């Protein structure tokens, strides 16, 4: 088994949206167990809050304070 299927450690996930200049537009937190974050080795995440204005943003996701990924996002 993989860690994703066996660990009940609580993970704090931070979602940060930044504008094209790198300014933080919004952020939000979630706490879930590692086991509940995954389904068939794929992450299941509902981004709790997105910017309300159309534009191009960067979404950064952190697990327990460590950067996991950054993705470019366009909101229309």
Could you state, in chain order, the average pLDDT of each consecutive group of 10 residues for the chain (76 residues)? 67 95 94 84 79 94 96 93
Model pLDDT, residue 30: 92
Model pLDDT, residue 67: 97
d(CA 55, CA 25): 12
Model pLDDT, residue 2: 52
Contact, 57 vs 49, CB < 8 A?
Answer: no
Contact, 3 vs 56, CB < 8 A?
Answer: no
**Taking the CA of residue 52 as centre, how many other CA atoms within 13 Å lie in the half-sphere pointing to its CB?**
0
């Amino acid at each position: 088994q993989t860690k994703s299927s066996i660990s009940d450690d609580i993970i704090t996930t931070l979602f940060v949206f930044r504008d094209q200049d790198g300014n933080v537009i919004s952020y939000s937190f979630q706490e879930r167990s590692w086991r509940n974050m995954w389904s068939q080795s794929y992450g299941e995440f509902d981004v709790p809050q997105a910017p309300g204005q159309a534009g191009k943003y960067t979404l950064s996701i952190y697990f327990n304070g460590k950067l996991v990924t950054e993705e470019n996002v366009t909101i229309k």
